[in-house]
Amino acid sequence: MSKHVSLIANPKVSDWLEFHPSGELSIHTGKVDIGQHISSALVLIAAEELNIKPNQISLSPIQTGSSPNEGYTVGSQSMQHSGYAIKKAAATARKVLKTQAAKYFDVPVGHIRIEDGHLFVDATNQRISYWELTKDGHLGCDVDETAEVKNHSKHELQGKYHVSREMLDIVTGRREFIQDLKLPNMLHARVIRPPQYHSTLIELDEKLLDKFAAEKIYLVRDGSFLAVAAANEYSAVKAAKQVEATAIWKIDSYLRETNIYELLVTNRKDSLFVDEGCIPKENLKIPSIDKKNVPEDSTLSAVYKKPYIMHGSIGPSAGAANFDGCELKIWTQNQGVYPLQAAISDALEIECDRVVVQFVHGAGVYGHNGADDAAFDAAIIAMHLKNFSILLKWTREDEHCWEPYGSAMQCDLQASINKEGNITHWSHETFSDTFLTRPVIGKNPGSRLLSSHFVENLKPWPVTPPLLTVHGGIHRNMEPLYNLPSQRLVKHRVYDLPLRTSALRALGAFGNIFAIESMMDELAVLSGFNPFEFRSMHLSDSRAMETLKKLKQIIESCKKSFPGGSGLGIAFSRYKNSAGYCSLATLLKVNDDAEIELQKVFCVVDVGEVVDIAGVKSQVEGGIVQAASWSLYEQVDYEATGITSRDWDSYPIISFNNIPEINIEVIDRPGSPYLGVGEIAAGPTGASIANAINDAIGLRLREMPFNSEAIKSAALSSQS
């Protein structure tokens, strides 16, 4: 029996591949394409293994009941999961069909060769196609994980540059997104939100109800859940504003305005020692922070902080639904159709097999933003307005104020080095809210949906216990890849914090790597070693060292062209200590207004075997830009009555005028396992910016965002 996670539940070749009589092949996958080019990569894998053209391959719609259940598209694991499964399914299909062709022609298997989807008998004109051998379209045999895959030396497609199969439609405007859906008997809908999380609807203007009825505008009230729907979208928008202006709410409890970093330390919490392998242990005593080193060692303590940050999707979330009295059909842009099916089934108390969820392309999700919630909002309305199709769009304010944010974090580090510059002691404590309140099958998933807390049959807000898995949410990348003795790692899962949080790209790795790589730079300065040398002294992983070595070579080759007054900072990590490697350097300038001007970013990555090099580079580049935005600009602001970061003015993100020149070098390792790429650059980017600021102006910033106010404050503090 397979031990591979995606093949356990989906063991048949036909679960992944379907041959059509027309001469085409359909690929089935449970991993959605949210801009990471997984669609292109999976097609290239199958085309390479089966020796057919990529344009003969299509991806089947991702939908519950027909697609493999691969949970969520998360953790930079699409290639390790679907990529591996499809490669092995294709290799199995090639092996089985080659055997069938040999039997059909009554020749030894070794006399069969494959070209362009046809199986030829050597030295004859005899041939038969894949499609003739699979007349019913299916291969019901199990995927053979021992099936030999094509030798990388014979690859004709993988590792080369390809234009993403979706790109032409995207840049020409032909791509249709979830917001563009046109469904039968469709109504456009908007939700009217309360002031903040802990609110109850008290009163509605009864005159509006008569007015709406005359205008064929539908008002849905379910407990404190309020929404309007109309055939004309603008009518729905106007109606929502009218309801919002007249609805009366009671705030049941206010958001705590105490400094978030004070709450992170003082609130009730579960504190766990993180053992070797980055695994929290409930039964292990947390050792004292007292270091046991020689008196000559130098010790440095530092506290690193990051605020609440948003997913900040450029396009607000949307969802669609239709209920015909029996089946509830959902269209969503979220990252997992099966978990959402379970959550909506639980929340609405409807049998799971009566809920069908289909993925539709939307704006970037980057984790658990408003996509699941928008789909559920549409489902509630559809249940009230049977036989109408509901297209529900969140507003910008909805997205900014109601998505689950990436948690604020505080990392307390202490480290010691001896006279030789070797680290002799390392302590790292991380304080954070959870990164995992997305719907998870089997764990009261309905309570993870926003509007489940406002409907008549409401659910309590979920309280998630500490995650105990390897490199889980808060403690992701808390354990450095460096060879460090006497490591003391402590995870603090903090409760009763003011804002709703969940998964955001890289989870806790962004804050933890920022802290680790900032400390490594501070220790390098303390010991008198350059940052490359200091890191290499503490590494034994040859692939990690190669990325650092290549990065240093790139910088040395072009440093003469660096502008005067610039600062250079480097950082390194291997995501989850098991995925892709990333060594990164940022060149920047601090101008006279104490603003950061990003100039260049140099990046070397090792993600194992490369299928689509353009896809790899675009993912790394996107991660760099997003993490730079987090580092320099982003912070969710709030007061007792709700979120105040309601638009792009009150929540600024990076703009085109501060996008650096980005240079990415990819180390391809044909034949080695896929390592994943989507989240590897986030942590190193934030740390390298902090280190570059210190190199440029001699100020060590330990709290994000690194905006002009932070730099001016640090400058004043250094003078006092």
- Tens-place pLDDT, residues 318-366: 999 999 999 999 999 999 999 999 999 999 999 999 999 999 999 989 9
Three-class SS of 412-432: EEEEEECCCCCEEEEEEEEEE
With a cut of 80, say whether residue 294 has pLDDT above it: no
Backbone angles phi, psi at 371, to 5 degrees: -60, -45
What's the CA gap between 320 and 389, in Å, rounded? 7
Under 8 Å CB-to-CB from 193, ≥6 apart: which residues? 244, 397, 398, 401, 402
- Backbone phi, psi, residue 219, to 5°: -110, 125
Q: What is the arithmetic mean of pLDDT over 11-37?
A: 92
For the entire predicted model, the pTM comes to 0.95
- Indicate if 409-719 has the same CATH topology as 178-253+311-402: yes
Give residue-wise pLDDT tens across range 606-630.
Answer: 999 999 999 999 999 999 999 999 9
What pLDDT, in 10s, does the model give residues 63-74?
A: 999 999 999 988
452-471 tens-digit pLDDT: 999 999 999 999 999 999 99
Range 5-171 classified under CATH 3.30.70.2740: no
Examine the pLDDT at 166 and tell me if it is beyond 90: no
With cut-offs at 50, 70 and 90, classify the pLDDT of residue 704.
very high
What pLDDT does 2 receive?
Answer: 55
- pLDDT tens-digit readout, 214-243: 999 999 999 999 999 999 999 999 999 999
Q: Label residue 291 by pLDDT band (50, 70, 90).
A: low
Whether 525 shows a pLDDT value over 90: the answer reads yes
Adjacency order of strands within the sheet including 127-129: 112-115, 118-121, 127-129
User: Is the CA virtual torsion 12, 15, 20, 24 positive or negative?
Assistant: negative
pLDDT-derived band at 195 (thresholds 50, 70, 90) equals: very high
* Mean pLDDT of the chain, nearest integer: 95
Alpha-carbon distance 640 to 621, whole Å?
A: 37
Q: What is the pLDDT of residues 531-576, one digit of tens each?
A: 999 999 999 999 999 999 999 999 999 999 999 999 999 999 999 9
Between strands 389-393 and 318-323, the pairing is antiparallel
d(CA 720, CA 715): 9
Q: 253-262: per-residue pLDDT in tens? A: 999 999 999 9
CATH code, 178-253+311-402: 3.30.365.10
Token pair in block for residue 669? 């390792």
CA angle 143, 146, 152 (to 5 degrees): 105
Residue 135: band (very low, low, confident or very high) from pLDDT cuts 50, 70, 90:
confident
Choose which CATH entry (1.10.1840.10, 2.60.260.20, 3.30.365.10, 3.40.50.11540) describes domain 409-719: 3.30.365.10
Residues with Cβ within 8 Å of 101's Cβ and at least 6 positions away in sequence, in order, are 112, 119, 121, 128, 133
Give 707's pLDDT tier (boundaries 50, 70, 90).
very high
Domain ranges of the chain: 5-171, 178-253+311-402, 409-719
Measured from the Cβ of residue 488, the count of other Cβ atoms closer than 10 Å reads 18
